Amino acid sequence: MLDLPKNTPKEETLSTDGFVTVDGKRFHYMWLYDHCLCPRCHDPSSFQKINDLCSRTTLPKPKSVEIKDEQLIINWDENTPHQSTFPVSWLLSRSYDPTPKQEVPSKKILWDVALLGTNPPECFEHNVCAFDSWMNQLRSLGFAVIRKMPWEELESFTSSIGPIYYLAQYGRYSTVKALPSGGPDLALSAVGHALSPHTDMTYMPGAPRAVQLLYCVENEASGGESILVDGFRVARDFRHHHPDYFRILSQTSATFRQLFSKWEYYVSQTTPIFKLDEAGEVSDVYFSHKNFGLNLPFDQVESFYEAYYALFRYLNNPTYQYCFPLEAGDCLLVQNFRVLHGRKAFNPSSGSRHLEVAFVEWNYFTGRHDFYTVKDDLYLINEN
């Protein structure tokens, strides 16, 4: 092992020790060779590795090592000259000594109406707010509202994040407005029914963990205020007060169904209402009473309904329901796997209420956010 102090030029032939220490952090030569940034090993366009370690018959060994001008320089003991240069700051940001750095998860704020009353969510203005501003709120609260977005710019905004998920044969967007003859969803009823809080696409097997974009084209009707509920906050409280009910809803599957008569589709999915991650925490919420069905043995039905309606009462409790009107040009973004949305009843004869709805996979949002986080570091690689 060779211990190289920072900012001290040093070069010498190394022993057979398998690592070098830089600023108190150890790095294996195998790891350094595998992460070599030279053009022979690393593609500067894709940031992907070119070197193929499988072609080696022996472990890589350094011939010489030095730190100079805040860079670790290694000349490898190979027939063809091969030098690796690593910025010290780049190395230290990837230190795995003694253990790899863990990614800091985004801070989730589990909210109810009281919390939002003392810490009102911000509304962001299109073409004025930065991406990170509304994205940070979307990550923490599970929703964000972007205002004054012209209808003509919705397509470019949505496509700038990622591809739109096609649901049945709606196309890129599905229209939500009262129709005289109704439609495949209760939201299209000519009566203007209230919609209890729900997540969408509960009935679609394999549907992505998506952000739902609800764009308000027009809203002149009386009533119809939007309702949002933090499913993770409700799940936490429900689990605390009703652990047996929570266990039922996280271990027993319900069935969600949807009939698209116009396009001759019938789709269904069977899933627990609360999906848990490896740590036992709620990662996804599936709840849509208008699509809910049940197919359980006789002796399980009564206990399931007790748990189900107990949860339903939580979701309909005004303590958890954040209500506000959408105005023309508003784009509401909702984590469809966390935040449930709904609406109050409205009177279609009092004016038009028209929304356009799209879904974009959550991974595209996080991927865009993470790109801005690491891009400067990646460009630093190419500069060296």
Share of the chain above pLDDT 70, in %: 92
Structural domain contains residue 226? yes
Structural domain contains residue 190? yes
148, 193: one domain? yes
CATH number at residue 168: 3.60.130.10
* Burial class for 171, CB neighbours closer than 10 Å (0-12, 13-18, 19+): exposed
Least confident span in 44-58, 106-120, 223-237, 303-317 = 44-58
138, 50: one domain? no
Helical residues (DSSP H) of 142-179, grouped into ranges:
154-161
Structural domain span for residue 249: 113-369
Chain segment 27-54, per-residue pLDDT in tens: 999 999 999 989 889 888 888 888 877 8
Question: How does residue 5 score in pLDDT terms, banded at 50, 70 and 90?
Answer: very low
Structural domain contains residue 145? yes
CATH number at residue 63: 3.30.2020.30
Largest CA distance in the chain: 86
140, 47: one domain? no
96, 134: one domain? no
Structural domain contains residue 382? no
pTM value is: 0.85
Look at residues 74, 102, 130 and tell me which one is the last residue of a structural domain. Answer: 102
Least confident span in 183-187, 282-286, 323-327, 357-361 = 183-187
Chain segment 271-300, per-residue pLDDT in tens: 999 999 999 999 999 999 999 998 899 999
How many domains are contained in the chain?
2
Structural domain contains residue 383? no
β-bridge mates for residue 340, sequence order: 229
Structural domain contains residue 314? yes
Least confident span in 6-10, 74-78, 261-265 = 6-10
94, 123: one domain? no
65, 135: one domain? no
Contact 287, 273 (CB under 8 A): yes
97, 216: one domain? no
Structural domain contains residue 251? yes
Euclidean distance between CA atoms 251 and 274, whole angstroms: 8
Give the pLDDT confidence score for residue 378 in this predicted structure. Answer: 57
127, 51: one domain? no
Look at residues 68, 102, 136 and tell me which one is the last residue of a structural domain. Answer: 102
